[in-house]
């Protein structure tokens, strides 16, 4: 119960930090490494505490989609949007940074569960 609450708050906080960090990215350049570190830690917490074995496949599919969008954002596709493109790009990249560690944990848990189940 408590771990689910912590995981839920970690998810909400991670999304908020990803959005705010992306929105003020140009002004917070000095804090960018810290923002990335916090997003990675929160992603790990979400991966360990929030995603059950039953939800693993759906989460991993969503994580793949978000990662692909993040790669597209890194390729400067979103930055071509007038006025807000660079902000949208930074937000999407931050969300991908947040989701990637959670996806790693969930994928490793799924592989572990597959490996330990009898054939």
Per-residue pLDDT tens, the chain, 119 aa: give them. 677 788 889 999 999 999 999 888 767 677 788 999 999 999 999 999 988 888 899 999 999 988 887 776 565 677 777 888 788 888 888 999 999 999 999 999 999 988 886 76
DSSP state of 114: H
pTM over 0.75: yes
Domain spans of the chain? 2-116
Residue 48, helix vs strand vs coil? helix
| CA angle at 28 for the pair 24 and 33, rounded to the nearest 5° | 120
Q: How far is CA 33 from the centre of its chain?
A: 15
């Amino acid at each position: 119960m408590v771990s689910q609450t912590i995981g839920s708050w970690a998810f909400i906080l991670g999304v908020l930090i990803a959005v705010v960090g992306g929105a003020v990215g140009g002004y917070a350049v000095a804090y960018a490494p810290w923002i990335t570190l916090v997003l990675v830690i929160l992603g790990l917490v979400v991966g360990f505490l929030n995603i059950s074995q039953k939800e693993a496949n759906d989460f991993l599919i969503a994580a793949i989609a978000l990662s692909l969008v993040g790669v597209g954002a890194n390729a400067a596709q979103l930055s071509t949007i007038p006025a807000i493109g660079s902000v949208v790009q930074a937000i999407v990249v931050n969300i991908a940074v947040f989701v990637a560690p959670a996806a790693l944990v969930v994928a490793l848990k799924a592989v572990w569960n597959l490996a330990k189940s009898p054939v």
